[in-house]
Amino acid sequence: MKQDTLFISDLHISLEKTEITRRFLDFLQNRARRAQALYILGDLFDAWIGDDDNTPPNKTIKQALKQLSDSGTQVFLLQGNRDFLIGQRFADETGITLLDEYAVVELNHHRVLLTHGDLLCTDDLPYQAFRLKAHSPEWQENVLSKPLWLRLLAARWYRLRSYWHKRKKTQDIMDVNPRTVIETMQKYQCRTLIHGHTHRPAMHDLTVDGAAAQRIVLGDWKKDSAECLCWDERTFRRETI
């Protein structure tokens, strides 16, 4: 009987990262099939330029997700800062459910807040300005109207640009803002927050409105290591993939 609930984030799948793709496909075919639900909290792909992109390994990933959802495991996906253009067509083709940028789930009567994590990094003002623009319907419609080949070239340029911009930023700016974390948990009335994005896996104890709370940061997947977070109806634990 399927019982566990799994959480993963920041795989950054791309054509070049063959080992991560292989590891993810194995995860979907084995560990994930024993779970009742799988939550993917953003940046499944290193870049997503539209649901019409079936260049490798995208089509294989879609098929594997569809097989998992057909097996009875519920699959939920929350867009990240790299794959925020994932849309309903992708969801229909894979059988997954798309979540809002903040989503609250109940685990054994506990309210748990899920998000990718980029919205919590409020000290990174240039990124937050870009995010606001890039999530507007007008911007997305303009991008998706371009030919696929042009979007593929643009994605490569964006990844290179992002790499160099990150090198200029301090680690503190790219991490979450503690005050934003508390205010967000207060807004959604949750004592547990799970997110990715920062690539700094940890479990942080904190206090929200005088009560004990926890912020769980998911780890990113690398070619030689990967992990998921498992809820077993009692507690959270990290599992090596």
Q: What is the pLDDT of residues 9-67, one digit of tens each?
A: 999 999 999 999 999 999 999 999 999 999 999 999 999 999 999 999 999 999 999 99
Render pLDDT for 110-128 as a digit per residue (tens, 0 to 9): 999 999 999 999 999 999 9
The whole-number pLDDT of residue 2 equals: 82
Which sign does the torsion angle of CA 38, 44, 50, 53 carry? negative
Whether pLDDT at 162 is above 80? no
Reading phi first (left if > 0) and then psi (alpha if -120 to 50, else beta), residue 57 is in alpha
Question: Which residue, chain included where needed, has tokens 């990124």?
Answer: 127
Find the mean pLDDT for residues 158-182. 75
The whole-number pLDDT of residue 212 equals: 97
Question: Percent of the chain beyond pLDDT 90?
Answer: 89
Give the separation between CA 113 and CA 102, rounded to whole angstroms. Answer: 7
State the pLDDT confidence band at 155, using cuts at 50, 70 and 90: confident
Q: Rg (Cα) of the chain, in Å, rounded?
A: 17
CATH 3.60.21.10 for the 4-240 domain, yes or no: yes
Render pLDDT for 187-223 as a digit per residue (tens, 0 to 9): 999 999 999 999 999 999 999 999 999 999 999 999 9
Find the mean pLDDT for residues 80-99. 98
Pairing status of strand 74-78 against strand 35-40: parallel
pTM of the model: 0.94
Specify the 3-state DSSP secondary structure of 120. Answer: helix
Whether pLDDT at 164 is above 70? no
